Amino acid sequence: MELRDKFRMFTGKNENYDFVDEILDMAKGKILNFCHIEELPSELINMQLEIAIKIYNRLGREEAKSFSEGGQSTQFDDLINENMKQELYRFRRFS
């Protein structure tokens, strides 16, 4: 299954592919910038998806740390949390 199809499956939304590809590219860019690398290793594809879903869920709430809706509270953590950073350090390059 293609990554963008997985994205649509996990979000439960049928967003158009151009939009999904843009979100996935943003997530990929976050990983590449953090690691100072130019190519995304295949081991990080699932993390790309996870970050893309976080980006998608934050759309329209970019500055918020949390929000309440319909009696439910949602808290945002960093796009790249500490557990992800620990995994990314294996791929990080220093100039």
* Pair 49, 2: CB distance under 8 Å: no
Tokens of 17: 């592919």
One-letter identity of residue 25: D
Cα–Cα dist 79/93, whole Å = 20
Task: Tell me the pLDDT of the chain (95 aa) as tens digits.
Answer: 899 999 999 999 999 999 999 999 999 999 999 999 999 999 999 999 999 999 998 887 655 555 566 666 555 567 888 999 999 999 999 87
Token representation of residue 8: 């649509």
Distances in whole angstroms, Cα of residue 74 to Cα of each of 49, 84, 86 = 20, 20, 24
Q: Which residues pair with 92 in a beta bridge?
A: none
User: Could you tell me the pTM of the whole model?
Assistant: 0.81
